[in-house]
A and B are shown apart, each in its own frame.
Chain A
């Protein structure tokens, strides 16, 4: 085969692969005509007849974040079911039924943004809920801002989402740089002699912020960060990083990433015999899927949690306590709720409280009420700083116990079991 033809093929192949990977990045539709249509909706609550609130969201139901996306959808749906049992959200002196419109964004940020645009312009939803993940949230909040539709999101923790001066985006969850603080605190509380930390990072918006936040915090606490490197977002093999980490012999290994790569890091750590004293991750160990994928190898691993079923919050919202939320969730979906489900339901509680305070479904009035919100929910404090982030709620830590259970081990006052320490090396099991 000639040299030129080969080069042509290489170019073609790479183009095709790139196209397949990035999918179709179409330009957003012209904004003008749609912004007019959108204002007509405001008269809705004034009419005496049937009133309803439609919440729209693009959520990952397939692709890399399919599992987390499912939890998000479950959280949204559980809230909607419960509130409609009570007749809906109180708006002024009546109640409005709640409807949910969810599309699958295939774990793709471009697709997520397109779908949110469709939700606003074609489906004319009243308010927006967030997708799963910081990347997708980053893309969709820009669309919400463009059309001036509020979006309360529950699954995008990167601060860069909120550093753009947006007025219509709010997040109920604790921001990314705070994620691993709980694990570091807990480890040092257990063994003040821990010296070194290795951090592996998924190369994505959320994980990079988690990692940087963890690094800064670890150094502040006098720990030595001996390894700090990234793997590609869709990595299927991280054995090189594990090998590099192992040669540093760290006391603590922290992973900043999501469920799938966390499972990968654990699998290959076993393959290559990496056994630190503490294994902690930003996302993954707290979901039932983690145990299913790893079996006994999930033992001892700790994960940061936005929320756990054992926390001791009390509230007058429809769920009341984390325990009651857990009961309802278990009855409907047959498993303990992961925090993604709880925070997603909490986004709707934030909306409900803001709508009640505004006494209206007007988009700008509800936005202002959201900005002023200060409410203690079953999920913890719902309050936003000027940028729209909830920096008022602490992170918890959960551990996969040797009895197969998953328990809150931090903060101490909410812990149901003691933190199992240290991680038992692979070759001694």
Chain B
């Protein structure tokens, strides 16, 4: 294998891991705290991407500036969805919430296909595709920016979870719901807030993805699956675990893509199966969001 492939591959993988961390972190907190495998995660991500696309296409809003808009909008949507829909069955077995979010995903994708059509779309600001080179290695500006923003958002989440009262309440709920309730944590609100956070992070990831990759209404499914694999790889309930999982997954994805492009997905899932067999608690083990 030539050195360019190796060095460019390493850079690609690191840049990809930033975005994937952001994709997986929202999925991870919803799973860890609410015990919901949120299949609609990718659909929210897709809506976030479309918010950016439409703001850019119709009003010329710079995609990076649309990040707070898309995150805030989807925060509200996520809060509503959890409070008035998922909360109705939150005590039901895992399978029921699983199916509910699956149904949600299908509904969102179908509506998106209906209103926006199945076309592949691209957000193309003037600086898209520009970048700089170190040696022979290309580094596109937008991907570098997406990487940095992802890490900043992940850092903010860490600070929020560790140093704020609300963040502590969320973590407490995830550790022991009864003890948390006895301490005066209002569970329904905390749940809704957590879900809203997860949704907002998904939308943020969608915004960043839309700048580097083409988007369409069915784009989300692949990200839900990746988020799942990353959570399992990294272990549930830990932010460093998610980062580590995303990094590992990105390397697997990029290098299997170079060596055996048509087996890319199979290899990624094979790793998942191996981790489940040999280290089911994930690489970093279980912790609680700090």
Do A and B associate with each other? Answer: yes
Q: Does B285 contact A (CB under 8 A)?
A: no
Known contacts A63-B113, A243-B12, A271-B143; is A232 also within 8 Å of B264 by CB?
yes
The reply to whether B138 and A10 contact each other, CB–CB distance below 8 Å, is no
The reply to whether B129 and A243 contact each other, CB–CB distance below 8 Å, is no
Q: Does B257 contact A (CB under 8 A)?
A: yes
Q: Does B68 contact A (CB under 8 A)?
A: no
CB distance from A202 to the nearest CB of B (A): 11
Question: Which A284-331 residues sit within 8 Å CB-CB of chain B?
Answer: 289, 293-295, 297
A contact face: mostly helix, strand, loop, or mixed: helix
Known contacts A20-B221, A66-B117; is A241 also within 8 Å of B8 by CB?
no
The reply to whether B262 and A231 contact each other, CB–CB distance below 8 Å, is yes
A298 to B99, CA, bound (A): 43
Q: Does A246 contact B (CB under 8 A)?
A: yes
Chain A residues in 8 Å Cβ range of B117: 62, 66
Q: How many pairs, one residue from A and one from B, have CB atoms within 8 Å of each other in the complex?
A: 133
The reply to whether B232 and A6 contact each other, CB–CB distance below 8 Å, is yes
B245-281 contact mask (Cβ, 8 Å, vs A): 1 or 0: 0000000001101100110110001001100100010
Q: In the complex, what residue of chain B is closest to A230 when comparing beta carbons?
A: B262
Known contacts A246-B4, A267-B129, A272-B138; is A203 also within 8 Å of B262 by CB?
yes
The reply to whether A260 and B8 contact each other, CB–CB distance below 8 Å, is no
The reply to whether B113 and A293 contact each other, CB–CB distance below 8 Å, is no
The reply to whether A426 and B129 contact each other, CB–CB distance below 8 Å, is yes
Q: Does B131 contact A (CB under 8 A)?
A: yes
A8-36 contact mask (Cβ, 8 Å, vs B): 1 or 0: 01101110110011000000000000000
Known contacts A13-B225, A17-B225, A267-B214; is A244 also within 8 Å of B258 by CB?
yes
Chain B residues in 8 Å Cβ range of A234: 218, 222
Known contacts A20-B221, A236-B213, A273-B138; is A6 also within 8 Å of B129 by CB?
no
Question: Which B112-141 residues sit within 8 Å CB-CB of chain A?
Answer: 113-114, 117-122, 124, 128-129, 131, 133, 138, 140
A282 to B119, CA, bound (A): 19
The reply to whether A267 and B118 contact each other, CB–CB distance below 8 Å, is no
The reply to whether A260 and B214 contact each other, CB–CB distance below 8 Å, is yes
Q: In the complex, what residue of chain B is closest to A258 when comparing beta carbons?
A: B120
Q: In the complex, what residue of chain B is closest to A237 when comparing beta carbons?
A: B213
A6 to B232, CA, bound (A): 9
Known contacts A3-B280, A243-B9, A243-B12; is A297 also within 8 Å of B4 by CB?
no
The reply to whether B124 and A295 contact each other, CB–CB distance below 8 Å, is yes
Among A1, A259, A294, max chain B CB count under 10 A is at A1
B197-232 contact mask (Cβ, 8 Å, vs A): 1 or 0: 000000000000000111010110110010010001
Of the residues A12, A241, A271, contact of B261 by C-beta under 8 Å: A241
The reply to whether A236 and B214 contact each other, CB–CB distance below 8 Å, is yes
Q: Does B5 contact A (CB under 8 A)?
A: yes
Bin chain B's interface residue count: 35 or more
The reply to whether B228 and A270 contact each other, CB–CB distance below 8 Å, is no
A9 to B229, CA, bound (A): 11
The reply to whether A63 and B118 contact each other, CB–CB distance below 8 Å, is yes
Chain A residues in 8 Å Cβ range of B9: 240, 243
The reply to whether A229 and B129 contact each other, CB–CB distance below 8 Å, is no
Chain A residues in 8 Å Cβ range of B228: 13
CB distance from B279 to the nearest CB of A (A): 10
A259 to B119, CA, bound (A): 10
The reply to whether B214 and A263 contact each other, CB–CB distance below 8 Å, is yes
The reply to whether B120 and A260 contact each other, CB–CB distance below 8 Å, is yes
Q: In the complex, what residue of chain B is closest to A67 when comparing beta carbons?
A: B119
A244-282 contact mask (Cβ, 8 Å, vs B): 1 or 0: 101100000000000110011001001111000000000
Chain B residues in 8 Å Cβ range of A62: 113-114, 117-118
The reply to whether A243 and B143 contact each other, CB–CB distance below 8 Å, is no
**Residues of B in contact with A (beta carbons under 8 Å apart):** 2, 4-5, 8-9, 12, 16, 37, 39, 94-95, 98, 102, 106, 113-114, 117-122, 124, 128-129, 131, 133, 138, 140, 143, 212-214, 216, 218-219, 221-222, 225, 228, 232, 236, 254-255, 257-258, 261-262, 264-265, 269, 272-273, 276, 280
16 new A-B contacts, CB < 8 A, other than A13-B39, A236-B222, A267-B129, are A3-B276, A9-B37, A20-B106, A62-B113, A66-B117, A67-B119, A232-B265, A238-B257, A240-B9, A240-B258, A241-B257, A241-B258, A243-B5, A244-B5, A264-B214, A272-B140
**Residues of A in contact with B (beta carbons under 8 Å apart):** 1, 3, 5-7, 9-10, 12-14, 16-17, 20-21, 62-64, 66-67, 106-107, 203, 229-232, 234, 236-241, 243-244, 246-247, 259-260, 263-264, 267, 270-273, 289, 293-295, 297, 426
